[in-house]
């Protein structure tokens, strides 16, 4: 039995459910069990949903000034406690302390946007649309929102959702990713400390069974999901069946084109960061470079020199630049995909498969060193699927036209980048790239909080992205109100909805 068992947070308190399965939390750094996650029963998930429904009604009626005051308090608590939050993320997820602080900072952008939600909720007004008739719009909360999250950003991805959902007047039922639940349970306590009424932020832990109940329940009005593409599809189908609003962000396989005129030192530096940061476990990681013409050989040399100097080690060590991957199953899958590509003719430029941490206490960790593969056949898994590990695949092309065709053939369309010194080529790429987020000399073009985040093709099911104005639209329903008052103007109006000269 594990040393620490995570339970649920419902109606402002910890809830322990007896007799349910406990899923181990393994440390990615040591391989040892460091905790357990209770798999909530369908009855408990429903209890959390119904508690959220009760709390939401009063919350939706509360003034914007009061709601945003709570968001301000929450924002200040996050800033004060970011090191504590980062330490939890590092312990369960294995990323470096710097990466953990980075995801908190990106999450904070959304809280800060939510602090100013009154701006985004302003409606339209048309005076005198018809004789004596005015029209205005309001946005009202959808109700109870189910948030289902992936392991790789235990803090940031839920924060794409809950600050926006709460500030717009909804209640949230959050299911964190199974291996990394603790930071969400800590956030729940912080919201309470910030003054959020109980029941508005519920956390139920577990895996598939919890998601299935959220999909089945009539008490959930909308689902925000981020995770892999196959599960995004399950969410989209489940929501379509039960008539829920949904946004389901899936996986990615982001490409960057490097043109021969690019500043190759600059490109190499940013490609290393894009490919190997967070051990490649980012939906906006950069696992594929399409090198055009003469760019390939010098670029590979420069990338290799930087990548082999990266310090691989535990996230708690400030010297570490690259932590372990999340699980031994993930490590085995990545190694087997590298093996397959090598057997198919790819050249292994840098080989991280056999990396072992020298310190005995980390011998059981899921270590992989940075790996670079050149001339990778396009039908191999490591090229065409999402590797989600510290692997950079290099593909060669003779021209921009060939390169963009390779980029756009991907089943995913999350992010895409180009390195070039030519404004003309950059502009062509900006228009040609079939991706939701595009970088010009920027390898990981994650939009700031007041823009919206989301991809195209297999990277997003549903058409509404996360945060920014699209996030506001997702968590609210617009209403159009047409008003007329009996009085002098009324004398001129004919039958309603009939076009007359008196309109």
- Residue numbers at the binding site for ligand NAD (CB under 6 A): 148-153, 157, 175, 177-178, 207-208, 211, 226-228, 231, 234, 249-252, 283, 386, 388, 414, 455, 459
Min CB(223)–ligand NAD separation in Å: 11
Residue whose CB is less far from ligand NAD, 292 or 460: 460
Quote the least distance from Cβ 197 to ligand NAD, whole Å.
26
Q: Which is nearer to ligand NAD, 224 or 420 (CB)?
A: 224
Q: Is 283 annotated in the active site? A: yes
- In the complex, the smallest distance separating the C-beta of residue 157 from ligand NAD, rounded to whole angstroms, is 5
460, containing H or E segment = strand 460-461
* HSE toward the beta carbon, residue 70, CA cutoff 13 A: 23
CB of 334 to ligand NAD, least distance (A): 13
Residue 63 C-beta: closest distance to ligand NAD, Å? 33
- Nearest distance from residue 92's CB to ligand NAD, in Å? 12
**Residue with the shortest CB distance to ligand NAD:** 227
The C-alpha atoms of residue 385 and residue 404 are separated, in whole angstroms, by 18
Residues with Cβ within 8 Å of residue 489, at least 6 apart in sequence: 131, 132
Q: Strand 255-258 and strand 33-38: pairing?
A: unpaired
Q: Which residue from 383, 301, 402, 286 is spatially nearest to 341, judged by alpha carbons? A: 383
Q: Which is nearer to ligand NAD, 284 or 289 (CB)?
A: 284
| Of 400 and 461, CB closest to ligand NAD | 461
Q: How far apart are CA 171 and CA 124, in angstroms?
A: 26
H-assigned helices in 293-380: 296-307, 328-343
144-148 and 33-38 strand pairing: unpaired
Q: Write the CB contacts of 230 (distance below 8 Å, at least 6 apart in sequence).
A: none
Closest CA to 404 of 258, 241, 192, 203: 258
Question: Three-state SS across 380-443?
Answer: CHHHHCCCCCCEEEEEEECCHHHHHHHHHCCCEECEEEEECCCHHHHHHHHHHCCCCEEEECCC
Instruction: Tell me the closest approach of the beta carbon of residue 406 to ligand NAD, in angstroms.
Output: 20
Question: One of 115, 149, 239, 283 is an active-site residue; which one?
Answer: 283
For residues 174 and 322, which CB has a smaller minimum distance to ligand NAD in the complex? 174
- Euclidean distance between CA atoms 205 and 182, whole angstroms: 10
Of 175 and 255, CB closest to ligand NAD: 175
Nearest-approach distance from CB 250 to ligand NAD, in angstroms: 6
Residue with Cβ nearer ligand NAD (194 or 252): 252
Please, which residue, 11 or 207, has the CB nearer to ligand NAD? 207
Relative to beta strand 33-38, strand 22-26 is: antiparallel
Between the CA atoms of 24, 28, 33 and 36, what dihedral angle is there, to the nearest 10 degrees?
-30
Contacting residues for 52 by C-beta, under 8 A, at least 6 apart: 144, 171, 172, 173, 199, 200, 202, 219
| Dist CA 443 CA 282 (whole Å) | 12
Tell me how far apart the terminal alpha carbons of the chain are, to the nearest angstrom.
Answer: 75
Q: Which residues are annotated as catalytic?
A: 283
């Amino acid at each position: 039995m594990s040393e620490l068992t995570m339970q649920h947070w419902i109606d402002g308190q910890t809830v322990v459910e007896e007799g349910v399965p406990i899923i181990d939390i393994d440390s990615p750094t040591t391989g040892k069990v460091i905790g357990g996650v209770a798999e909530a029963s369908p009855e408990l998930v429903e209890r959390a949903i119904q508690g959220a429904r009760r709390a939401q009604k009063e919350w939706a009626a509360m003034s914007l000034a009061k709601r945003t005051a709570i968001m301000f308090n929450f924002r200040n608590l996050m800033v004060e406690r970011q090191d504590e939050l980062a330490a939890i993320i590092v312990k369960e997820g294995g990323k470096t302390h710097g990466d953990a602080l980075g995801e908190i900072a990106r999450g904070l952008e959304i809280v800060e946007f939510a602090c100013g939600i009154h701006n985004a909720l302003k409606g339209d007004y048309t005076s005198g649309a018809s004789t004596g008739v005015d029209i205005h719009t309001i946005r009202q909360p959808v109700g109870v929102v189910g948030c289902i999250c992936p392991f790789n950003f235990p803090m940031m991805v839920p924060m794409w959702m809950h600050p926006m959902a709460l500030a717009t007047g909804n209640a949230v039922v959050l299911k964190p990713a199974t291996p990394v639940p603790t930071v969400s349970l800590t956030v729940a306590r912080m919201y309470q400390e910030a003054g959020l009424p109980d029941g508005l932020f519920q956390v139920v832990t577990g895996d598939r069974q919890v998601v299935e109940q959220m999909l089945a329940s009539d008490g959930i009005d909308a689902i925000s999901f981020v995770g892999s593409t196959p599960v995004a599809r399950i969410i989209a189908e489940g929501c379509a069946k039960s008539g829920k609003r949904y946004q389901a962000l899936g996986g990615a396989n982001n490409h960057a084109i490097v043109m021969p005129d690019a500043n190759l030192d600059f490109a190499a530096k940013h490609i290393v960061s894009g490919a190997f940061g967070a051990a490649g476990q980012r939906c906006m990681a950069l696992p594929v470079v399409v090198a055009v013409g003469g760019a390939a050989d010098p670029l590979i040399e420069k990338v290799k020199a930087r990548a082999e100097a990266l310090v691989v080690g535990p996230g708690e060590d400030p010297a570490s630049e690259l932590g372990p991957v999340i699980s031994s199953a993930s490590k085995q899958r990545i190694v087997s995909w590298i093996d397959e590509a090598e057997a198919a003719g790819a050249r292994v430029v840098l080989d991280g498969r056999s990396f072992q941490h020298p310190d005995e206490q980390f011998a059981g960790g899921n270590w992989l060193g940075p790996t670079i593969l050149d001339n990778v056949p396009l039908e191999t898994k490591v090229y065409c699927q999402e590797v989600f590990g510290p692997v950079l695949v290099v593909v060669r092309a003779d021209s921009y036209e060939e390169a963009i065709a390779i980029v756009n053939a991907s089943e995913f369309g999350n992010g895409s980048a180009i390195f070039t010194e030519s404004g003309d080529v950059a502009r062509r790429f900006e228009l040609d790239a079939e991706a939701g987020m595009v970088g010009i000399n920027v390898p990981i073009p994650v939009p700031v909080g007041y823009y919206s985040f989301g991809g195209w093709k297999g990277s997003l099911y549903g058409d509404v992205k996360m945060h920014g104005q699209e996030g506001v639209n997702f968590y609210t329903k617009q209403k159009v109100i047409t008003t007329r008052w009996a009085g002098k103007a009324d004398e001129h109006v004919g039958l309603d909805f009939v076009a007359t000269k008196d309109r």
